[in-house]
Structure 1
Amino acid sequence: MELNNTVYINTNYINEEEVPFQFAHEISHALNGDKGSNNFSANSVYSKEEYKANKRATKILLEYCDLNGLTFYNSTEFMDAFGIPSKAGYVIDNVFEEKIGI
């Protein structure tokens, strides 16, 4: 069976500032080969998939920043610039720590 890695983004989402991160997050699910289940339960597989998608999305956005000469000195500035919800903050902090080698 062939997988269809189609990503749908609602650009009319009520929190428009979150759209860039949502887009990177959904692309990350496709790139990670996630099954695309809409099961929003708190099971461990779902949590791992969400963590990995958030992590990859952060790396995608950081690469975008590098390519466009944008510099962020801390994760809070980065989160504000891309409308990243605070619930994903721990992932962003982890990626920033990896990037600067803490």
Structure 2
Amino acid sequence: MDRIITDLLNYAMDHNINLMITRELSPYTPSAVDTQRRSIVFNANWHNEKQLAFSLAHEIGHILNGDSSIEPLYFTPNKAKLEHGANTLAIKMLIPFYLEDKEKSHIKAYDFMEGFGIPPYLEDVVMEAIRNY
């Protein structure tokens, strides 16, 4: 997981996204993004370690999707339009990490979702992303 997070952090920096990584926040304080400043505060102390890569990819997704908000957006894997778009892009960003070195017969959406802490309501998005990869 550390390699995936490192790759995502490097990806963000390569795309001119400012990062502040902290372990000083509460485990229940979500990561956040200021889309206008292209800045992410990444809570590396998040209570669900499996979701760390997903939350980082989600925040990167807000910026890459061109989402606009005058207030910071917080990691909330819910069904709201902006959040759904960020979740979809995050899943697409994580699929290559899951699929590397896997034989087709060993690819399971459930394993991907479990490994990255992706909520069940995103199963259709995951299935489509795997199919289209």
Deviations 1:20-66 (A, max 9, x none): 100111100011111244578xxxxx822111111111111113345
Whole-angstrom distance in 2 between the partners of 1:34 and 1:7: 13
Whole-angstrom distance in 2 between the partners of 1:28 and 1:50: 9
1:34 maps to what in 2?
Answer: 67
Q: Any stretches of 5+ residues in structure 1 without a counterpart?
A: 41-45
The residue identity in structure 2 corresponding to 1:74 is: K
Whole-angstrom distance in 1 between the partners of 2:130 and 2:39: 29
Structure with greater strand percent: 2
| Runs of 4+ off more than 2 Å | 36-40, 63-66, 69-72, 85-91, 93-99
Shift of 1:14: 1.1
Deviations 1:47-90 (A, max 9, x none): 22111111111111113345xx2436121111112222334333
1:8 maps to what in 2?
Answer: 41
Aligned 8 A contact 1:58 1:95 in 2: yes
Whole-angstrom distance in 1 between the partners of 2:53 and 2:118: 8
Q: SS of the counterpart of 1:8?
A: strand
Percent of residue pairs bearing the same amino acid type: 31
Aligned 8 A contact 1:51 1:91 in 2: no
Structure with greater helix percent: 1
Aligned 8 A contact 1:21 1:82 in 2: yes
2:108 maps to what in 1?
Answer: 74
The residue identity in structure 2 corresponding to 1:55 is: T
1:52 maps to what in 2?
Answer: 85
Q: Normalised by the size of structure 2, how large is the TM-score?
A: 0.56
Of residues 33, 50, 54, the one that matches 1:21 is 54
* Corresponding residue pairs, total: 90
Q: Which has the higher contact order (CA 8 A, sep 6+)?
A: 1
Aligned 8 A contact 2:91 2:126 in 1: yes
Q: Any stretches of 5+ residues in structure 2 without a counterpart?
A: 1-35
